[in-house]
Chain A
């Protein structure tokens, strides 16, 4: 993909990506892995919808249905949406704040490889004793009694990839706090950076709860612990609490960066500064804060009692307020703007009403008394797909298309992008709008079959047809990616006529990003220079040597070690040997890392002067 890679041949390019610590390349790795898992999760979704195309269908077996359903949810949340968000964060955040790299390039790469091996681990289960089958929420005691090793793969695979996510989160927090360019104050940070920052904080405080839950699940299943076994004094509800203490913040980890994407796309293509910038920042922080206090709205029917239910219901409804502020700010940004209907903008315009519907059904679900009717029905399925697909996925694709030129130096075909949008968007509403009514009519979620003549047949058929539209749309997107990269037509550094710092440098940027640290004079710094200056960002520092980190193979090995060890822990007996080997590799890699000094290297000033075009001034 990069010029050096093409020159050096496939082996060298592969090695480069296996060892890279460059946030731009790690972003590409996350993107490729995320899209791969998105396709996988999509295929699983198609299997689900084909099974439900007609009543009493025998397309797949009940057990396989449970596995496909579980893996669909798990894959989409942890292996598709999360890495795609990290792809955009890696590709964009350091550039938007004018940094040469993230704070911990090594940890950044470690985060990716841990996520990757965790994802592979989960999917190996298909070939070994069967995939997890207890739902993506893996509620005890079902998950404790599930036979085979499926749920073990779930627990250990997510554990490994969760470590990776946690490290990625810490990395981005420190990057934003410590690595901003001169003049880039907090209140001048682009909203995508803000939301990435806040999402990272959420990761830091939410993921450890999942870590603990997964450990307990593992210990219960593999080492005879009794956390969730009532016969031995255990309590299955503890899992639900831990899962949702993580799980609700997780949905905000997903949606906030998508909000961030739209807050970049809308001002660019409305040619207006974002309306209510500071209230957007405030709303982001408030959503994150409230997001930690609402987890029990997933447990209204557990029997926590009317007081607890009421408190959590009110807290949940309160989140709709800052979310509403955001919706209005986007609308007011559009108001009176000179709008260009580029494809990212069309995604944004499709997002606003769709997400609003998801938010409305959210408030309906938040009414604890009414939720007894909705709970575990297709109504909930419709709700969370409206927010996750209509919010997160539309946001991710808008972001991928918008920043594609920055990542690859090429431009996806706009016509095909529009085709992709309309197929996907129409398919989405066909699939999920009708599910609200299926739910209200009483169709429970996660069931393998439904019976004929209960008024569910037609709506299920329509829903499945919609899913095919989405699949075709996705294929159009993939086709677009391939022809764009094969043609390889290069574009300028600023093809959208945009406003923020990342567009001030070439596409793709040189490996050191900015030749000289940029001087930021306000919000939307590039736009300021376009309207008040000469269109170029002024440097804040004289040209000097640039310090760069060394590539490293250690992150790959550390993650590989945990991957191998996972199998040992799972199968035990003679397989304990694998655990010894695996943990040995990981510990050895860590020791190697701490015993060998890694001071990085310098790009010398003289070499930078020779280079054509200049890094910081576009």
Chain B
């Protein structure tokens, strides 16, 4: 049985849910995302309460530009799509293609993160909008930074899964791991959609 877990041929249709361990992971991770939702909801609530409190510092509409953020949104949404492709190939047992699409996902993730760092750098140096400038700035960097931290963690996670399993194929043991990593990635994307709306769009327009 233990050996079966590591075999890569004759996998069932949904290898991520074929074992009890896999089903447990799958369900546990959904619940974990429920908790994460409350975490981000709390951060959003705080941000909404403080977004009009710039103290002496710049306001939202003074610093936000939508072009870069729009590109970032596209990049991250695309990476969600590519991770779906990766999971599609996982279910078909095509390990090479899965790795390829995960690689593209990771590349897009890094692009996003790069843009975000550039954005923060720009605010700090171009507008003197630092973490301690005002309640608004603290709330902004904490919310967006938590999301960025999640992206960075997700990247590290997917990369280590890719490296660890590079020399062997998909099996019942690692399929759930890949699958929940991709779930996590989708979750990060969804959170970003809310950030785009609540932070940037409402900051510029509302």
Which residues of A are in contact with B by a Cβ distance under 8 Å?
103-104, 107, 166, 170-171, 173-174, 177-179, 204-209, 211-213, 215-216, 219-220, 223-227, 229, 231-235, 238, 241-242, 245, 545, 547, 591, 594-595, 597, 599-602
Q: Give every chain A residue within 8 A of B1 (Cβ-Cβ).
A: 545, 547, 602
Q: A232-B134, A233-B135 are known contacts. Are A599 and B31 too (CB-CB below 8 A)?
A: no
Chain A CB within 8 A of B23 CB: yes
Which residues of B are in contact with A by a Cβ distance under 8 Å?
1-2, 5-6, 20, 23-24, 27-28, 31-32, 34-36, 38-39, 42-43, 45-46, 49-50, 53-55, 131-132, 134-139, 142, 160-161, 164, 173, 177
Q: A204-B31, A227-B46, A233-B50 are known contacts. Are A211 and B39 too (CB-CB below 8 A)?
A: yes
Q: Give every chain B residue within 8 A of A170 (Cβ-Cβ).
A: 28, 31-32, 35
Q: Give every chain A residue within 8 A of B42 (Cβ-Cβ).
A: 208-209, 211-213, 242, 245
20 new A-B contacts, CB < 8 A, other than A204-B34, A232-B53, are A173-B31, A174-B28, A178-B27, A179-B24, A206-B38, A207-B35, A209-B42, A211-B39, A212-B39, A212-B42, A225-B142, A226-B137, A232-B134, A233-B134, A234-B138, A235-B50, A235-B135, A238-B46, A591-B160, A599-B5
Among candidates A179, A215, A600, residue contacting B2 with C-beta atoms closer than 8 Å: A600
User: Distance in Å from the Cβ of A540 to the closest Cβ of chain B?
Assistant: 16
Query: Do A227 and B138 have beta carbons less than 8 Å apart?
Result: yes
Q: Give every chain A residue within 8 A of B5 (Cβ-Cβ).
A: 599
What is the bound-complex CA distance between A171 and B29, given in angstroms? 10
8 contacts between A and B (CB under 8 A): A171-B28, A179-B24, A204-B38, A208-B42, A226-B135, A229-B135, A234-B53, A601-B2
Among candidates B6, B34, B49, B136, residue contacting A238 with C-beta atoms closer than 8 Å: B49
Q: Give every chain A residue within 8 A of B137 (Cβ-Cβ).
A: 226
Is chain A's interface secondary structure helix, strand, loop, or mixed overall?
helix
What is the chain B residue whose CB lies nearest that of A598?
B173
Number of contacts between A and B (CB, 8 Å)? 121
What is the bound-complex CA distance between A600 and B21, given in angstroms? 11
What is the chain B residue whose CB lies nearest that of A234?
B135
What is the bound-complex CA distance between A165 and B50, given in angstroms? 29
Q: Give every chain A residue within 8 A of B35 (Cβ-Cβ).
A: 166, 170, 204-205, 207-208
Query: Do A212 and B2 have beta carbons less than 8 Å apart?
Result: no
What is the bound-complex CA distance between A173 and B138, given in angstroms? 35
Q: A227-B50, A594-B164 are known contacts. Are A208 and B36 too (CB-CB below 8 A)?
A: yes
User: Distance in Å from the Cβ of B30 to the closest Cβ of chain A?
Assistant: 9
Query: Do A594 and B24 have beta carbons less than 8 Å apart?
Result: no
Query: Do B27 and A205 have beta carbons less than 8 Å apart?
Result: no
Q: Give every chain A residue within 8 A of B138 (Cβ-Cβ).
A: 219-220, 225-227, 234
Closest CB pairs A-B (n = 7): A233-B53, A233-B135, A225-B138, A208-B39, A212-B42, A224-B132, A208-B38
Q: Give every chain A residue within 8 A of B6 (Cβ-Cβ).
A: 597, 599
What is the chain A residue whose CB lies nearest that of B171?
A597
What is the bound-complex CA distance between A227 and B45, given in angstroms? 12
Q: Give every chain A residue within 8 A of B32 (Cβ-Cβ).
A: 170
Q: A207-B35, A233-B50, A238-B49 are known contacts. Are A599 and B132 too (CB-CB below 8 A)?
A: no
User: Distance in Å from the Cβ of B145 to the closest Cβ of chain A?
Assistant: 10
Q: Give every chain B residue within 8 A of A209 (Cβ-Cβ).
A: 38-39, 42
Query: Do A594 and B160 have beta carbons less than 8 Å apart?
Result: yes
Query: Do A174 and B173 have beta carbons less than 8 Å apart?
Result: no
Query: Do A174 and B27 have beta carbons less than 8 Å apart?
Result: yes
What is the chain B residue whose CB lies nearest that of A597?
B173
What is the bound-complex CA distance between A235 and B48, given in angstroms? 12
What is the chain A residue whose CB lies nearest that of B32?
A170
What is the chain A residue whose CB lies nearest that of B36?
A208
Task: Find the residue from A107, A178, A213, A226 having the highest chain B CB count within 10 A.
Answer: A226
What is the bound-complex CA distance between A223 and B141, given in angstroms? 12
What is the bound-complex CA distance between A216 and B141, given in angstroms? 12
Q: A224-B131, A226-B132 are known contacts. Are A233 and B54 too (CB-CB below 8 A)?
A: yes
